């Protein structure tokens, strides 16, 4: 069973915005309920104080992100290795894009 995020809450929308801009393909992100609200964090071993709700599952439906909280899934070592490689490739790709994005282009994009 999965649960949708409450996107009427501006804090949830901000957290999902940050997640979409920081998440790399293949990464597993967890959702915690904390005294300060919902926190999304990558699988790094650094956990916030709170209750683990599950992991984030994201799909694109009709050109828009659809994010859900799903129970934590068991993954084989082979799948975890595939996801690590996928994440490493995506990080390298985004780093290359960042290098090609000149300061002049960044400033122009900010002005428009």
3-state secondary structure 34-59: ECCEEEEEECCCCCCCCEEEEEEEEE
Specify whether 60 is located in the same domain as 79: no
Alpha carbon of residue 6 to chain centroid: 16
How much is the pLDDT for 67?
94
How much is the pLDDT for 71?
94
How much is the pLDDT for 109?
83
How much is the pLDDT for 112?
75
Specify whether 59 is located in the same domain as 94: no
How much is the pLDDT for 100?
87
The residue range of the domain holding 89 is: 75-112
The answer to whether 30 and 19 are in contact (CB under 8 A) is no
Number of structural domains the chain divides into: 2
Specify whether 64 is located in the same domain as 79: no
pTM of the model: 0.75
How much is the pLDDT for 97?
87
- What residue ranges of the chain have pLDDT lower than 50? none
């Amino acid at each position: 069973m999965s649960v949708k995020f409450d996107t009427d809450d501006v804090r949830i929308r901000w957290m999902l915005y940050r997640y979409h801009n920081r998440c790399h393909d293949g990464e597993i992100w967890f959702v915690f309920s904390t005294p300060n609200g919902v926190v999304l964090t990558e699988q790094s071993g650094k956990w916030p104080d709170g209750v683990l709700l599950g992991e984030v599952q994201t799909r694109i439906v009709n050109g828009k992100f659809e994010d859900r909280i799903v129970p934590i899934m068991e993954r084989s070592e082979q799948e975890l290795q595939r996801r690590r490689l996928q994440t490493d490739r995506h990080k390298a790709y985004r780093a290359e894009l960042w290098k090609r994005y000149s300061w002049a282009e960044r400033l122009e994009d900010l002005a428009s």
